[in-house]
Amino acid sequence: MPVKSIKIIKSGSLLLDSFEKPQGNLIALKLLSGVGGGSTVTYIESDCNILVDTGFDYEIDGSKQNRKKNLEDLTLALKRFNIKPEDIDLVFITHGHQDHYGNLELFPDAEVLSNIHLARKGSIECKGVKDGATIADGVHVIYTPGHTFDHASLLLQTEKMRYTVNMEGKGRVMGIGELKVAVAGDAVVSSGYYVAKKHWDYNEDFISPQMATESLDKLIKTSDYIIPGHGNIFYNFLKPPGPGGIRY
């Protein structure tokens, strides 16, 4: 059975857009303006309930107050979709940066999965899964090193999806179809970085531009839509044309 539904619980933000240079005053202004830099949080409904990354904002602030606020914010974001933390069966962490795993304590009963290399590090308590593994119906792991050595993404195969909207008192069903959706983590940081074909290489554990490009190309070739590590779902217009591709 393929994936039944996908929800963007929280759309992550970025401290630096693809056209900006890493300047302290710019980053400080964004933080002051309420840009926390946390990751996108994605909910996947399959034969179990999966959350991808946990969206921790203001990771440079290690105070108890910030941790408490992050837990409250994610709980509220889930509540908007009528989801409780205890409803989550699996949490998949794309890589070992705090903005992607910082709220894990909210899910004490969920199984936490990641790239096997991250699991071996022991920096977070999780179970490692191999490249190509199927962790739920329609949910497949793709190793995407580059941003970090231990980075992994998910490729989702959906059932036929549709959206019902009420227009002037009448229901209208909009067909979407069967899709392949990449939940990319920071292998695709945002739509802006995707368009510019840039990688977020400001982190000390960035591996190499070549590996990052190979991982990006892998996701571009296999997905119809991409959910980036920081931002909202977008159409993969760089995908090479071929049988079964999306047509507008």
Domain ranges for the chain:
5-16+24-235
Which residues does 168 contact at the CB level (< 8 Å), separation at least 6?
none
Closest alpha carbon to 96 in 142, 45, 56: 56
Beta-sheet pairing, 152-157 with 111-115: unpaired
From 3.40.50.300, 3.20.20.450, 3.60.15.10, 3.40.190.80, which CATH number describes the 5-16+24-235 domain?
3.60.15.10
Q: Quote the CA–CA distance of 107 and 96 in Å, as a whole number.
A: 17
Helix (H, G, I), strand (E, B) or coil at 99: helix
Which residues are registered as beta bridge partners of 31?
none
Instruction: State pTM to two decimals.
Output: 0.94
Could you list the pLDDT tens digit for every one of the 248 residues in the chain?
699 999 999 999 999 999 999 999 999 999 999 999 999 999 999 999 999 999 999 999 999 999 999 999 999 999 999 999 999 999 999 999 999 999 999 999 999 999 999 999 999 999 999 999 999 999 999 999 999 999 999 999 999 988 888 777 677 778 889 999 999 999 999 999 999 999 999 999 999 999 999 999 999 999 999 999 999 999 999 998 875 444 33
Burial class (CB in 10 A: 0-12, 13-18, 19+), 206: middle
